[in-house]
Amino acid sequence: MAHSQQEVLAGLAELVNDETGIAADAVQMEKSFTDDLDIDSISMMTIVVNAEDKFSVKIPDEEVKNLITVGDAVTYITANQD
């Protein structure tokens, strides 16, 4: 079942929290994963793989580097869900 943008944001915030301990409400659309949330490349990949499972979406390696902000990830996931 397709998830709404709001659901994807909430789910992604949970995954970020699980991996890094960052409070879920700090994970907002305009936040940059690296500059604002200080998420390193390995944690980012862990979040990506977990997001693939959670939202039934494929996020290829070459796409991961385009996911600069939380909004980029939410938009990509919402648009590419099975």
Partner 1 sequence: MKQLQESIPVAHTRIYALGAARGNQVVSNDDIAGPIDSSDEWIRQRTGVATRNRAAEDQSMMDLAVEASKEAIAKSGVDPSEIGAVILATISFPYQTPSGASLLSELVGAQGAAAYDISAACAGYCYGIAQADALVRSGLCKYVLVVGAEKLSDFISPTDRTISFLLGDGAGAAIVGASDHPGISKTIWGADGSSWDKVGMTGSILDFRDGKTPWPTLTQEGQTVFRWAVWEMSKVAKQALDAAGIEASDLSALVMHQANLRIIDEFAKQMKLPDTVVIAKDIVETGNTSAASVPLAMHRILEEKKVTSGAFALQIGFGAGLTFAAQVVELP
Q: How many residues does the chain have?
A: 82
CA proximity to 50, closest of 14, 10, 1, 74? 14
The answer to whether 12 and 24 have CB atoms below 8 angstroms apart is: no
Residue 81 sits in the site that holds partner 1 (CB under 8 A): no
Comparing CB distances to partner 1, the nearer of 13 and 47 is: 47
Contact letters (x/-) for partner 1, 34-63, by CB under 8 A?
------xxx-xxx-xx-----------x--
If binding means CB under 8 A, how many residues of this protein chain bind partner 1? Answer: 11
Largest CA-CA distance found in the chain, in angstroms, rounded: 32
- The contact set with partner 1 (CB under 8 A) reads 40-42, 44-46, 48-49, 61, 64-65
